[in-house]
Amino acid sequence: MSTASSSSHRHELANGIKAELPIALGVIPFGLIYGVLALAGGLPPALAQAMSAIVFAGSAQFIAAQLIGAGAPGVILLLTTFIVNLRHLLYSASLSPYTKHLPARWRWLLAYLLTDEAFAVTVLHYDGETAVSPNRHYYFLGAGMTLWVAWQTSTAVGIFLGAQIPASWSLDFTLALTFIGLVVPVLKDRPNLGAALSAGLAAVFANGLPFKLGLMVAALTGILVGVWLENLSSQQKESL
Amino acid sequence: MNLWLVVIGMGIITYAIRLSMIVLLEKVEITPTIKQALHFVPPAVLSAIIFPELLQPGGTIDLSFSNERLLAGFLAMIVAWRTKNVLFTIAAGMAALWLLQTI
């Protein structure tokens, strides 16, 4: 391996870490709250922390902690996890063109690190890239690892501090704010704006569906509207 | 059922979903339509998470001025648009929320 290519690995890795850091900061309060909630739901501290490493999916862990607290059976927990995390199917498909040339161990590792936050940062970076780096998977790795460390650490602190974190601080709001910071700058044209607005409104109206199914319905609505608007505007350009 | 086994099951399900298309689409060339559709995944999914947080903080739709999260979130959107900076967005949104809650 030449020194030039290894420094480029490092460059991509460092850029991925740098891009993910502010997002990781926004996730820390969310991790703290998960820790508090998991203990309140009756999970033993070791299991609460293990769930962060084994499942590594914030919203599914939140819902699981609440369901366990409510005494829900295991089958419901598994089914809920499946539906809540179905959106990762879309992430997986989105990133597949960027990972298909990689050896299996890389793809297995990156799949483990494929969270909402790592996905959003990585795919938005890839979309905006002008030149394709052969080491771009290190960017994904850097972003994914940064979020992993932030999540494990913050849930551990949350479990340790427990009820000392008052709900009145509204720390859970940082998650929505982080996503606002990520998505708003992307809404530069009508198809993207339409996709965001329609998905958001669909999510509000479908919020009553069981197992958070509304999220999936909303995501698909947004995607369809985005494609429709994009095709519409390209047809208009052709007819001019 | 043992809770540890349930959590391991949750982990396997989550990982399988995340790995699925990365493996399945390895040898398949994605059609242009699918590619175009996948391009809208980030705005669609992220907005689907954001909107209920702002419009239904208590579980029901609240479009009034007493909905602090809606106002703080709206301000955060303006900050995000102007600065394109996630940290500024979080700081502005949280500051606005805390301020509105104390009023």
Q: What would the pLDDT profile of A94-133 be if each residue is shown by its tens digit?
A: 999 999 899 999 999 999 999 999 999 999 999 888 878 8
Stretch (H or E) spanning A239: helix A213-239
Q: B36 and A230 in contact (C-beta within 8 Å)?
A: yes
Q: Which two tokens stand for residue A151?
A: 């999540």
Looking at chain A, the number of H-run helices and the number of E-run strands are 11, 0
Domain map (residue ranges) of chain A:
3-168, 187-240
> Each residue of B75-91: b (16+ CB within 10 Å) or e?
bbbebbeeeeebebbbb
For residue B56, give the chain A residue with the closest CA. A204
Q: Is B27 exposed, middle or buried (0-12, 13-18, 19+ CB in 10 A)?
A: exposed
Model confidence at A3: pLDDT above 60: no
Rounded Cα–Cα distance for residues B81 and B90 (Å): 13
Q: How far apart are CA A183 and CA B43, in angstroms?
A: 6
A52 versus A7: which is more confidently predicted? A52
Any B CB within 8 A of A102 CB:
no
Distance CA B6, CA B28 (A): 34
pLDDT tens digits for range A193-207: 999 999 999 999 998
Residue-range domain boundaries for chain B: 1-31, 40-102
- Cβ–Cβ of B38/A94 closer than 8 Å? yes
User: Are A31 and A155 spatial neighbours (Cβ–Cβ below 8 Å)?
Assistant: yes
Per-residue model confidence as pLDDT tens digits over A79-95: 889 988 989 999 999 99
Interface of A with B in 201-230 (CB under 8 A): 201-204, 207, 214-215, 218-224, 226-227, 230
Distance, in Å, from the CA atom of A29 to the CA atom of B59, rounded to the nearest integer, reads: 21
